Structure 1
Amino acid sequence: MSTFPCLAVGEKRHWWLTNRKIVDKYVKEARVLIATQEQSEVATALNLLDAALALSPKLESALELKARSLLYLRRFKEVADMLQEYIPSFKMVTEESSHSSDNSSNQLSRERVKLLSSDHSPSDATDKVPTFKCFSVSDLKKKVMAGLSKNCEKEGHWRYLVLGQACCHLGLMEDAMVLLQTGRRLASAAFRKERVRLSDDSFSINVAASSDLSNPNPPTAPTPTELEYVAQLLGHIKLLLRRRTAALAALDAGIYSEAIRHFSKILDNRRGTPEGFLAECYIQRASAYRAADRIAESIADCNRTLALDPTCIQALSTRASLLETIRCIPDCLRDLEHLKLLYDSILRDRKLPGPAWKSKRHNVRYRDVPGNLKALTSKIQELRRRVALRETGNVDYYALIGLRRGCSRSELQRAHLVLSLKHRPDRAISFIDRCEFVGDRDVGSVKEQARMSALVLYRLLQKGYSTVMSTILEEEAAEKQRLKAAAAMQVQVAVTEPKLESENSNNSSKPPAMEIQQRSWIGSSDYTAVVNVVTEGKNAAATVNAAVTAAAAASAVAAASAFQGVVNEVREEKNAAAAANAAAAAASAFQGVFCRDIAAVGNLLSQVGFNRPIQVKYEALSC
């Protein structure tokens, strides 16, 4: 009776040792296959490691070999799924969801406490009622087994290094930077600890026992080559994050051109960039283009984002909003219906599209989906009503091309040339060559999706160019008609002007002589006004045609006869002034003016053929 328990214990120990030998065999064979560095051999090693982990799920060496094999085969998503609890962003999302669930569970537990305590009377509160605590056997078993199987050393630093590289290739740059920095720090600490342990002549019984039980093949330390690669990868990640941070800061500050420039530096980089990170940068640059009123470029970036990530909710909603802005209702309605299908699938699957560690990149929370779906349904109904009313023909092509209304033909041609060269379908897919794709996604299908969306945008731009050009041609034709009408009016006015001038000259031929007669009493100080009037008569006579020559001559003769009387009166006044000593200075001041006026009148009389001599004294002509 006393030997039976010993036999039972011996049988269990034999079963455990048998599984342990099988696991060790699988791990050794996997190491040999991985050392060949051939993809087929590494894939075979993965099968052996899966079998070993089925027998011993917590075996550290098997976990490390599997993670490194998946990383070598570029199956980064499987690495992230395997170690997702170490991803910082996934931890944050999990903590937020658990916090919200804890709040709801606490409220529910308070309600339950109220219900349970309702049976007790207030008098029972003073009694010492024994309290009982219920333990979950399964949870207790898990904790005990975890404590037994846990290594005395902390979890290996290989998790952070391998997972950091996988996150970098998946586009999770912030997580990759944190993981790689943590891995380097832990690797350095482990290296220093190993040197101290080897220098001391001591050993730990617990470490030996744990290594005998669970880890016969301890994980290898990272090689210098791996550490150098990690350092280079960290430098590249920091550069990308620094540029994106500068772009986001410029976008928040309203400096949209600067934000576009920083995003373009990231997107036009010749070095391969993960598709996930490129998709985020494209949708953020689309927001900058939209804020700068460059709608065509913003739609193009949304197309690129959807080609890289067809389930991007932000890209679909942004493109639909842009199409609604330019009143392109059918295309907007198509995007909104696609978004509605995406929301329906989220509610059906009770999770956001994609793996759990990718949920933060959708910029939407699961609890917001029902409200968004309700608003989206009402929006779709409104747009369908507008389509039924045929409100689909007034697309704002000026806003699409980025021109003001009333622009010139040269401005339209220049803008169309730039947009056509930039958004040509065969050139719109060149960005795919700079992408680093992960998983088994077909690059050909991505190119086809990008080409189709670029073709739709290109046709819309061509239609907008033809529409705006026809409007400009109509405006130019109307302007030509207006100029022709104005020229005809000017010709008509030019024909009627000579007739009006001749009539005016006939009506105003006598006023100079009459004015001279009326002002004959004015002294020598007013001869300047008289001469100006005569000069105006001269200019009027020179501009009339031959038909009025006789009238001009008659008026000149009348003016000469009138002037003779004026000269006599002036001579008498001059003689009287000369006799007076007080007016001597005034007479000498106007003597030169009088002589010039006499010369002007004589010239006028000679032009009209008046050869009759005028008797004057010599002193009147001397200056």
Structure 2
Amino acid sequence: MAVSSQYSSSSSIDKKNWWLTNRKIVDKYIKDARTLIATQEHREVSAALNLIDAALALSPRLEQALELKARALLCLRRFKDVADMLQDYIPSFKISGEDSVGSDGSSQQLSKDRVKLLGSSESHGCDSSFKCFSVSDLKKKVMAGLCKNGNKEGHWRYLILGQACCHLGLMEDAMVLLQTGKRLATAAFRRESICRSEDSFSLSDFPFSSDISTTNPPNTPPRALSDSETISNLLSHIKLLIRRRTAALAALDAGLYSEAIRHFSKIVDGRRGAPQGFLAECYMYRASAYRSAGRIAESIADCNRTLALNPSCIQALETRAVLFESIRCLPDCLHDLEHLKLLYNTILRDRKLPGPAWKRQNMRYREIPGKLCALTVKIQELKQRVASGETGNVDYYSLIGLRRGCSRSELERAHLLLCLRHKPDKATNFIERCELSDDRDLDSVRDKAKMSALLLYRMLQKGYSSIMATISDEEATEKQRKKAAAALQAAQAAAIQVQQQQLLQAQECHLERELIKAALRTPSKPMKTDRIGAADNKSSTEKSTFQGVFCRDLTVVGNLLLQAGLNRPLPVKYEALSC
């Protein structure tokens, strides 16, 4: 009995010493990690993350280690890891989450206890898969969850997760989380500042957790902005982006496509960058607005940007395939549909939608089998059309945005504008205004954007050449038609001139015949005038008689001319009129 009691006491001492040893090791790891994180250098923060992982291996639920790990991941810009670590605190995780599929293949809803911040009671008539949600409803559910576990868990989760959600494009969640964390920090500061004369909010006055309030944090160099100012600026930027997107969506729903395009362009072309996921969503909406406005090339370009930022975007693939089919570019349409079919098969194989569980999706998992069947039938129809030879009649007029029968100047102007917008050298400019969730994806995003922009540019050049050849043929045909019309007009003018000459000759012949007839009717009068002219030298007293005879002959000739209908002057020698 004594031996057993001695053995039990020694074993308890060993256990106590083992626990104290692990606690000291964990405290040392945390202290060193905090010192490394304060330097804000990439290599030092990576080393601190390794120390934190070692501490969590010894104490998996230690609040200080979890907080330091989240801050280290945020400093390393590993926002997806932060969201995966704290996904149970994302407000829209339950609302926008898809139905999970069990091992038996049947779809099951997510557990109600999975999201700690959301209330257990759901509103009546509200579908759990409903994607659009109200920010005020989210705030109520967040605050309801805080009433239950707000004392146990620090406010660092909301601030860190809010910043991560902002960089991941979950703007509504980021706004709710940051506002909640800010309220919690303000309330905690007010509780601790009862004896202070000035009640101001500053997150820099707080240590990382309430459990380590006795430890002295290392001295860090002063920064330009405090944490509270950074969060306030981030909240202002988030609210601005949400307002602009809301206005653009309202204009798109109302059919004001130009207004929607203008609002979305303010977001994607703004001076301050936007997160990758949010930009991909805005590019997709602007592509829909361009498509509704009839601007096919711009819509295809926005679909290309969306797929460069989010390669698994099903809506972008469907929209681009429909656009290619509308301009009868069947090979490219078939390529996108094959890609979409491969994506559907991958979803059915993995039994989940692409991306992490907290990512918002535009469709449900149970819709995939029906879409896959319809897609297979569509692919078979397109293959039959391609086999029948319908690949050469691409509608380049719709692609460039011109009417049939346009002029050369209209084509050159439209082509110049499209080349300036979609030149391959400028295809990656949008990446400069994009805050990538992972810097390692920069090369892949740039390569995809360049490749898709090059294909679109080649299609535009081919369309320009085709339409220009058509316009040249039309101009040559028009020139020949004008030349033939001018020749016909000249021939008609020559024929009219010949007819006029023939008519003039006929009138002259008719006049001569009338003169001859008139001369035959009065044969004695010219003889009398001849006798009078011959006897002019004989007698000056008979001069008036001869003058009267000559004037009478002129009167006869004038009457004949009037009867013939000729109204033109006759050459008359004035010396013959001297009577």
The normalised TM-score by structure 2 is 0.73
Equivalent position of 1:410 in the other structure = 409
Equivalent position of 2:172 in the other structure = 174
Cα 1:257–1:601 shift into 2, 3 Å: farther
Shift of 1:426: 0.7
Equivalent AA in structure 2 for residue 449 of structure 1: K
Identity score, percent: 66
Shift of 1:443: 2.0
Report matched runs for 1:153-552 at 5 Å.
153-196=151-194, 225-358=226-359, 360=360, 362-498=361-497, 545=504, 548-549=507-508, 551=510
Q: What is the rounded CA distance, in whole Å, between the counterparts of 1:256 and 1:219 in structure 2? A: 58
The answer to whether the Cα contact below 8 Å between 2:422 and 2:453 also exists between their aligned partners in 1 is: yes
The answer to whether the Cα contact below 8 Å between 2:300 and 2:320 also exists between their aligned partners in 1 is: yes
Cα 1:63–1:556 shift into 2, 3 Å: farther
Q: What is the rounded CA distance, in whole Å, between the counterparts of 1:217 and 1:54 in structure 2? A: 24
Deviations 1:572-615 (A, max 9, x none): xxxxxxxxxxxxxxxxxxxxxxxxxxxx999969977799xxxx
Greater Cα offset, 447-456 or 484-493: 484-493
Equivalent position of 1:70 in the other structure = 73
Cα 1:369–1:95 shift into 2, 3 Å: closer
Shift of 1:51: 2.1
The answer to whether the Cα contact below 8 Å between 2:97 and 2:357 also exists between their aligned partners in 1 is: no
The answer to whether the Cα contact below 8 Å between 2:99 and 2:364 also exists between their aligned partners in 1 is: no
Q: What is the rounded CA distance, in whole Å, between the counterparts of 2:64 and 2:559 in structure 1? A: 129
Equivalent AA in structure 2 for residue 239 of structure 1: L
Equivalent position of 2:130 in the other structure = none
Cα 1:258–1:454 shift into 2, 3 Å: same
Shift of 1:328: 0.6
The answer to whether the Cα contact below 8 Å between 1:60 and 1:219 also exists between their aligned partners in 2 is: no
Q: What is the rounded CA distance, in whole Å, between the counterparts of 1:75 and 1:374 in structure 2? A: 38
Equivalent AA in structure 2 for residue 195 of structure 1: S
Equivalent AA in structure 1 for residue 438 of structure 2: G
Shift of 1:550: 6.1
Cα 1:151–1:476 shift into 2, 3 Å: closer
Shift of 1:448: 1.9
3-state SS of 1:92 partner: coil
Work out which of the two has the higher radius of gyration on C-alpha atoms and give 1 or 2: 1
The answer to whether the Cα contact below 8 Å between 1:401 and 1:461 also exists between their aligned partners in 2 is: yes
Q: What is the rounded CA distance, in whole Å, between the counterparts of 1:456 and 1:357 in structure 2? A: 34
Equivalent position of 2:96 in the other structure = 93
Deviations 1:3-28 (A, max 9, x none): 79988877665554443333223222
Q: What is the rounded CA distance, in whole Å, between the counterparts of 1:558 and 1:356 in structure 2? A: 120
Q: CA-atom RMSD, angstroms?
A: 3.7
Shift of 1:52: 2.0
Equivalent AA in structure 1 for residue 504 of structure 2: N
Q: What is the rounded CA distance, in whole Å, between the counterparts of 1:498 and 1:375 in structure 2? A: 75
The answer to whether the Cα contact below 8 Å between 2:273 and 2:435 also exists between their aligned partners in 1 is: yes
Equivalent AA in structure 2 for residue 250 of structure 1: A
Cα 1:545–1:24 shift into 2, 3 Å: same
Equivalent AA in structure 2 for residue 372 of structure 1: K
Deviations 1:453-484 (A, max 9, x none): 11111111111111111111222222222223
Report matched runs for 1:591-602 at 5 Å.
none
The answer to whether the Cα contact below 8 Å between 1:556 and 1:604 also exists between their aligned partners in 2 is: no
Equivalent AA in structure 1 for residue 457 of structure 2: Y
Q: What is the rounded CA distance, in whole Å, between the counterparts of 1:610 and 1:423 in structure 2? A: 81
The answer to whether the Cα contact below 8 Å between 1:60 and 1:215 also exists between their aligned partners in 2 is: no
Report matched runs for 1:133-172 at 5 Å.
153-172=151-170
Q: Which residues of structure 1 form unaligned runs of 5+? A: 106-149, 200-210, 504-543, 560-599, 612-623
Q: What is the rounded CA distance, in whole Å, between the counterparts of 1:437 and 1:556 in structure 2? A: 109
3-state SS of 2:74 partner: helix
Shift of 1:276: 1.5
Shift of 1:260: 0.8
Shift of 1:492: 2.9
Cα 1:334–1:423 shift into 2, 3 Å: same
The answer to whether the Cα contact below 8 Å between 1:557 and 1:610 also exists between their aligned partners in 2 is: no
Deviations 1:37-88 (A, max 9, x none): 3322222221222222223222222111111111111111111111011112
Q: What is the rounded CA distance, in whole Å, between the counterparts of 1:238 and 1:448 in structure 2? A: 32
The answer to whether the Cα contact below 8 Å between 1:160 and 1:182 also exists between their aligned partners in 2 is: yes
The answer to whether the Cα contact below 8 Å between 1:79 and 1:163 also exists between their aligned partners in 2 is: yes
The answer to whether the Cα contact below 8 Å between 2:98 and 2:364 also exists between their aligned partners in 1 is: no
Cα 1:102–1:197 shift into 2, 3 Å: farther
Q: What is the rounded CA distance, in whole Å, between the counterparts of 2:288 and 2:23 in structure 1? A: 57
Cα 1:215–1:482 shift into 2, 3 Å: same
Greater Cα offset, 44-53 or 31-40: 31-40
Equivalent AA in structure 2 for residue 20 of structure 1: R
Equivalent AA in structure 2 for residue 489 of structure 1: L
Residue 54 of structure 1 pairs with residue 57 of structure 2: yes
The answer to whether the Cα contact below 8 Å between 1:299 and 1:319 also exists between their aligned partners in 2 is: yes
Shift of 1:365: 1.4
Equivalent AA in structure 1 for residue 173 of structure 2: D
The answer to whether the Cα contact below 8 Å between 1:59 and 1:215 also exists between their aligned partners in 2 is: no
Q: What is the rounded CA distance, in whole Å, between the counterparts of 1:607 and 1:257 in structure 2? A: 73
Deviations 1:238-281 (A, max 9, x none): 11111111111111111111111111111112323222111111
Q: What is the rounded CA distance, in whole Å, between the counterparts of 2:390 and 2:179 in structure 1? A: 57
Cα 1:610–1:303 shift into 2, 3 Å: closer
Equivalent position of 1:45 in the other structure = 48
Residue 26 of structure 1 pairs with residue 29 of structure 2: yes
Greater Cα offset, 43-52 or 156-165: 43-52
Q: What is the rounded CA distance, in whole Å, between the counterparts of 2:39 and 2:442 in structure 1? A: 29
Shift of 1:216: 7.6
The answer to whether the Cα contact below 8 Å between 1:60 and 1:218 also exists between their aligned partners in 2 is: no
Cα 1:557–1:192 shift into 2, 3 Å: farther
Shift of 1:192: 1.7
Shift of 1:416: 1.0
Shift of 1:497: 2.8
Cα 1:8–1:153 shift into 2, 3 Å: farther
Q: What is the rounded CA distance, in whole Å, between the counterparts of 1:165 and 1:282 in structure 2? A: 22
The answer to whether the Cα contact below 8 Å between 1:240 and 1:266 also exists between their aligned partners in 2 is: yes
Q: What is the rounded CA distance, in whole Å, between the counterparts of 1:602 and 1:176 in structure 2? A: 113
Deviations 1:77-127 (A, max 9, x none): 1111110111122121348669x966899xxxxxxxxxxxxxxxxxxxxxx
3-state SS of 1:271 partner: coil
Deviations 1:153-200 (A, max 9, x none): 24211111011111111121121111111111111111122234999x
Cα 1:413–1:83 shift into 2, 3 Å: same
Q: What is the rounded CA distance, in whole Å, between the counterparts of 1:276 and 1:608 in structure 2? A: 96
